[in-house]
Amino acid sequence: MSLLALLYILAAALFIMALKWMSSPATARRGVMAGEVGMLLAVVGTLMRQEVVSYEWIVGGLLVGAAIGVPLAILMPMTHVPQRTAISQACGALASALIGTAEYYRQYPSGFTMGALALEILLGFLTFTASLMAFGKLNEMLPSRPITFKGQNFVNLGLLLAAVGIAVSLIINPNQPMLFPIFVGLAMTFGILLIIPIGGADMPTVIALLNSYAGLSAAAMGFALDNKLLIIAGALDGSSGLILSIIMCRAMNRSFTNVLFGAFGQLQAAAVGGEVKPVRSASPEEAAQILEDARSVIIIPGYGMAVAQAQHKIRELYDALTKKGIDVKFAVHPVAGRMPGHMNVLLAEADVPYDKLVEMDDINPEMGMTDVALIVGANDIVNPAAKNDPTSPIAGMPILDAYKARTVMIIKRGMAAGFAGIDNELYYAPNTLMLFGDAKSFVASLVKELAGGH
């Protein structure tokens, strides 16, 4: 066996183990390290395999990339991980698309190779612009609500069909350099129009789906360049992203077509009649007393916790309650936050014990026996309307059954609707107390009160 083959086999094995280990918070760090080592072996092997024209360009690219990537990783707060993920996917997809573009103009390939290049370029450029749009929505540079216009789905379908038509024409006759920029423009425009009608509530699914597109683009590039390791890595990325998208859709009880074309997240019309529902609120002192008297507490984090950067204060609250002999667990909904695993990442950053993070299906049977369900910035994932109102936009979506707890306390700035754009029935339940205020400062007040008010 040659050294190159050995490096590629080791890299492929490390990529597979990285995905396996990253499926659990306890082994996620090991998975990241395995992926990094695998990528290093892949790069070394590729440099051995390909004829290198100039190492100066390669070293220069590594230095420029490191100069951008290292500060980005160190300085970007954990609350902005979804935005960083979106921009990283955009860069990866652009790199794949540009390599495909260079290969096209270098040799005007035909047959299967041109087909692989066309698929790579189509997926690469549409993922690039789509990821930029997702970044804009996540970073609130663009409206998080759906942006729609009449006949939008037909326009999108027309753009996609036109791009596919040009791809077929290029496969039949590759030597059409004037047609190629139109193909690229259609792909990029389709990527933009694909994302703008999708609401912020669906961004976790969108990020996973775009990750799948980027992986499939890389796999197609592997076929075009005859690089087996690239095919393996792209297939792993594409399939894992697709599986994750399916899991996210199931967690919301929705289909791909509904996510991509349903414009979910538009503000719903207010109920007729102007009914004013009573809301009970509590001060930090009152909330702390309720927590202190409890035997079991389930903390439910949401995007509001991420915005307030309250995860470290939540850890302090966990420590304060645990010292008093109170059983504390964290209920994590699959689509809480703005990306898959968002809450897990934030709580792990605050060193919350992994065994205290419990998935929805496992924690729901315990809700009815829990003294206090403390909701920190979550909204739609605890809204009973998903079960009680068949006409609700979130009807059928699996939720955390917080309403079953003896006492529900919700930390929230105000009564604003979540990304689904609907009122939350839980706010008005007789066993609910609203704790109005910034999550970080309110939790800090709770910790202070539990420590004796000093």
Q: Which residues are catalytic, by number?
A: 380
Dist. CA 18–CA 37, nearest whole Å: 10
Picking from 287, 291, 317, 306, the residue whose alpha carbon sits closest to that of residue 378 is: 306
Residue with tokens 């979506």: 397
**What gap in Å lies between CA 442 and CA 454, rounded to an integer?**
15
Contact 132, 90 (CB under 8 A): yes
Separation between Cα atoms, residue 415 and residue 433, nearest integer Å: 12
Find, among 409, 203, 381, 386, the residue nearest to 293 by Cα: 409
329: enclosing H helix or E strand: strand 327-332
SS3 332: strand
Residue 54 has which token pair? 């100039």
Burial group, residue 222, by CB count within 10 angstroms (0-12, 13-18, 19+): buried
Q: Report long-range pairs for 223-231 (Cβ below 8 Å, ≥24 apart).
A: 223/112, 223/113, 223/116, 224/100, 224/103, 224/109, 224/113, 224/116, 224/117, 224/120, 225/99, 225/103, 227/46, 227/49, 228/8, 229/8, 229/11, 229/12, 229/42, 229/45, 229/46
Cβ distance 31 to 17 under 8 Å? yes
Is the alpha carbon torsion for 106, 107, 109, 113 positive or negative?
negative
* DSSP codes of every residue in 202-229: GHHHHHHHHHHHHHHHHHHHHHHHT-HH
Q: How far apart are CA 150 and CA 213, in angstroms?
A: 27
**What's the rounded Cα separation, in Å, for the pair 453 and 323?**
16
Q: What's CA 45's distance to the chain center, in Å?
A: 31
User: How far, CA to CA in Å, does 150 sit from each of 138, 153, 192, 259?
Assistant: 25, 8, 16, 18
What's CA 28's distance to the chain center, in Å? 16
- The CA-atom distances, in angstroms, between 449 and each of 131, 288, 321, 324, 372 are 44, 6, 11, 13, 17
